[in-house]
Amino acid sequence: MNYFVIGMAGSGKSTLVRTLQQRLSNPFIINLDPAIQTLAYVPDVDIRDSVDYDQLTSTSKLGPNGAILTALNLFVTKLDQLANVIPDNRPIVFDSPGQIESFIWSASGEILLKTFPGAVLYVTDAKKAVNPSIFVSSMLYLLGVQQRLNITEIIVVMNKSDLLNSDLTDEFKQILSENEETGESELDLVQLFAKNSLVLTDSFKFQAENDYQGSFLSNVTLYLDRFWQKNKYCFVSCKKGTGIDTLINEMERVQKNTVVEEKAKDEKYAAEKKEKQAKEKEKFEQEFNDHRNMDEND
Ligand SMILES: Nc1nc2c(ncn2[C@@H]2O[C@H](COP(=O)(O)OP(=O)(O)O)[C@@H](O)[C@H]2O)c(=O)[nH]1
Ligand SMILES: [Mg+2]
């Protein structure tokens, strides 16, 4: 079972990995963040043991992002060694660098996901998602990640839900009642954003800063919500340890589906390759016979 924890810097990825280390059964943890100074957990494999980030910034004169990217690329050149130390029958959890783009938009993330097919956890800050424009921006990024990595289903981890402790303002309460929904807290509101796009679009009316932003976000939401609503949203608090059991059940379900899908993709690829080779062989034999017949006729 393989799990990749990705998300914006500061969303709580490493804290979640620490929580999963405590809650999963005997997990094997891999830290992929070369630049982290202090980790909240002790990993089983640490990119910092095989790649010297400081040397990349000083000797190779790379900037912080270039050095993270290069460190990941160097790490994946040693994947055969990693495969040798990864034990069988233990859940593997990959913690990714703070800068999501270094993992998502480079070849290394793709290679790791292809080599160790599994579930992807997109960690985001639930408190920030109370702002509807931040919620939609986060969902747009999520859809970009899904397309980039060709992932059918991704788990959205709404972390820091312990901070969703304020009551709803009267404006939000009115929006809920106009849409025949009920809810008192920010937690109810963000849960509704994820499943009822009308609540979201109505919220832009007083949250969006100008007409252009409100109109853009409403249109984006009405068109794209069907794609982000397909994902499962898990509201957790790593700080309080809440929502983790539900998350783990979801991780196991998505991981199983992903492995089945990857197997089907590999089988389809192998069948197509076999068919192509058979056609090429047939074409070659035909050409060979044609030439032989021409030679015999001469
Ligand atoms: N309130 C609250 N803070 C959290 C939670 N999870 C993480 N944090 C804090 O968010 C900050 C960033 O966490 P970190 O795991 O380093 O984020 P990363 O950059 O995504 O790996 C730290 O100060 C954490 O203590 C949570 O569930 N609730
Ligand atoms: Mg981290």
Q: Rounded to the nearest whole angstrom, what is the distance from the C-alpha of residue 97 to the centroid of ligand 2?
A: 6
**What's the number of CA atoms in the CB half-sphere (13 Å) around residue 249?**
6
As a residue count, the chain comes to 298
Task: Dump pLDDT digits (tens) for 65-98.
Answer: 899 999 999 999 999 999 899 998 899 999 999 8
Q: Whose CA is nearest to atom 12 of ligand 1?
A: 10
Pocket test for ligand 1, best of 163, 238, 247 (most atoms within 8 A of CB): 238
Structure tokens at 52: 């010297």
Task: Dump pLDDT digits (tens) for 94-128.
Answer: 999 988 888 888 889 999 988 898 999 999 999 99
For residue 209, what pLDDT band results from cuts at 50, 70 and 90?
A: low
Task: Dump pLDDT digits (tens) for 231-245.
Answer: 999 999 999 999 999
Q: Rounded to the nearest whole angstrom, what is the distance from the C-alpha of residue 98 to the centroid of ligand 2?
A: 5
Q: Residue 18: CB within 6 Å of ligand 1? A: no
pTM listed for this prediction: 0.88
Q: Residue 10: CB within 6 Å of ligand 1? A: yes
pLDDT of res. 228: 92
How does the average pLDDT of the chain come out, rounded? 91
Q: Rounded to the nearest whole angstrom, what is the distance from the C-alpha of residue 237 to the centroid of ligand 1?
A: 9
Task: Dump pLDDT digits (tens) for 15-52.
Answer: 999 999 999 999 999 999 999 989 999 999 999 999 98
Q: Rounded to the nearest whole angstrom, what is the distance from the C-alpha of residue 101 to the centroid of ligand 2?
A: 14
Sequence-distant (≥ 6) Cβ neighbours of residue 245 within 8 angstroms: 23
Ligand number nearest to the C-alpha of 33: 2
Q: Rounded to the nearest whole angstrom, what is the distance from the C-alpha of residue 88 to the centroid of ligand 2?
A: 26
